[in-house]
Amino acid sequence: MTDELTTHYSIRMRASDGGRHISGAEGIYNEGLIDDNTVALIHRALAHPRGKPDSITVTIERLDGGEIRNISTLPICTCAITNEKAARTAVYTLLNHAGIGTDIVSAALNIIEDGAQLSGAALVDAVTGERLDAESPGGVRVSRFGIEDAALSEFEAEFETLTGGLLRETRVLEAVMLASKSASCDGVIAEVCISDNPDYTTGYVSSRRLGYVRIPNIKTEGDERGGRILFIDKGADINAIVKYLRHTPVMIDKFRGINGIKELYELTGIDNS
Ligand code: PML
Ligand code: MG
C-alpha cells in the first residue's frame, strides 16, 4: 500500500490554442494536494494573457520515491538595470562570464527573437551555437520538479520582505525552480530566459556559478516573443541531458536565499558554485 503523506505525484499542465503555446506549469505534491493544485493549474491556463486555450492537458503521474533527486535552489538576485540597452549588456556580460562567446549569445537570442514557438528550452552548443534538440522544434520541456514545504516557506518569507508583495511570487518561484533543475544537470553551462508573456519584461541569466540573476527590461512590453536557451558543454551526452531535464524528478529541499539588487560589476565577481 502507498502512503498518502510520502507518495509524490508530478502534476503538469500545458495549454495551447490552434497549436500555439499558451501556458505550461507544474509541481510535485503529496496525494492530498492533488485536487487543489490541479484546479489551480486549470484556472491559470484559462486566464493566461497569451490568450484562451482550445486545449488544456493535465498529467498526474505517481513518482517512484527512490528516483527523486534532492537539490538546492540557485541563490537569487536582481541585476541593477534601468533600460533595455543595459539589460542587453548584462545578458552578454553575464553569459560571456559563464564562458559563452558573444557570437553564440547572439545566435541564441536570435532563436528567441526570430519568433520560434518555444514551449520548452532550446539546447544550444556553447561552442558552435548549433541547436542540439533538432528533433523537438518546440524545445525540451524542463519538467518534474517541486519544492519541499520548509524551503517554500523560507522563499515566501524572504520574498515578501524584499518585495513588499509587489511582485508575483509564483512566477519567480517557478522560474527559479526550473533554472535550479537545469543548472543541476551535468553538461548544462548556463541558461537565459525571456518570458513569453507580453506583459512581463523581466528575464534571467543563470548558472551554478552566477546563481539566478534577474534581468529587468529584457524586452519591450507587449512583445510576445520569449523562450529559454540552455547552453550545453561541447561533447556532452545530449541524450542523457534531455532525459534528465525531462524525466528525472527533482525536489528542492534547500533555499539558498535572495541577495537583493547587485550591480553588474559585482555579479561578475561572484562564484556560487
Ligand atoms: C515566465 O514568464 O514564466 C518566465 C519568467 C522569468 C523571470 C521571472 C523573474 O525572476 O521575475
Ligand atoms: Mg509564459
Calpha distance 92→186 (Å, rounded): 23
Stretch 176-187: mean pLDDT:
98
- Note the pLDDT tens digit of each residue in 235-253: 899 999 999 999 999 999 9
Minimal-distance CA residue to ligand 1 atom 6: 203
CA-197 nearest atom, ligand 1:
2
Q: Does the pLDDT value for residue 232 go beyond 50?
A: yes
According to DSSP, the β-strands at 258-262 and 76-79 are parallel
Ligand 1 and 175: CB distance under 6 A: yes
- Note the pLDDT tens digit of each residue in 192-225: 999 999 999 999 999 999 999 999 999 999 999 9
Domain layout of the chain by residue ranges = 8-65, 70-268
- Note the pLDDT tens digit of each residue in 41-99: 999 999 998 899 999 999 999 998 778 999 999 999 999 999 999 999 999 999 999 99
- Note the pLDDT tens digit of each residue in 24-41: 999 999 999 999 999 999
The three grid cell numbers given for residue 137, joined into one nine-digit string: 522544434
Three-state secondary structure readout of 167-206: CCHHHHHHHHHHHHHHHCCCCEEEEEEECCCCCCCCEEEE
Ligand 1 and 44: CB distance under 6 A: no
DSSP string, the chain: ---TTT-EEEEEEEEEETTEEEEEEEEEEEGGGHHHHHHHHHHHHHT-TT---SEEEEEEEE--GGGPEEEEPPPEEEE---SHHHHHHHHHHHHHHTT--HHHHHHHHHHHHTT---SSEEEEETTT--BS-TT-TT-BPP--EEE-HHHHHHHHHHHHHHHTT-S-HHHHHHHHHHHHHHHTSTTEEEEEEE---TT---EEEEETTTEEEEETTSS-TT----EEEEEE-TT--HHHHHHHHHHS-EEEEE---EEEEE-HHHHTT----
Q: How far is the CA of 197 from the centre of ligand 2 (A)?
A: 5
Q: Does the pLDDT value for residue 5 go beyond 60?
A: no
Whether the CB-CB separation of 90 and 222 falls below 8 Å is answered with no
CA-193 nearest atom, ligand 1:
6
Ligand 1 and 272: CB distance under 6 A: no
Ligand 1 and 202: CB distance under 6 A: yes
pLDDT at position 1: 44
Calpha distance 224→24 (Å, rounded): 15
Minimal-distance CA residue to ligand 1 atom 9: 172
Phi and psi at residue 67, to the nearest 5°: -95, -5
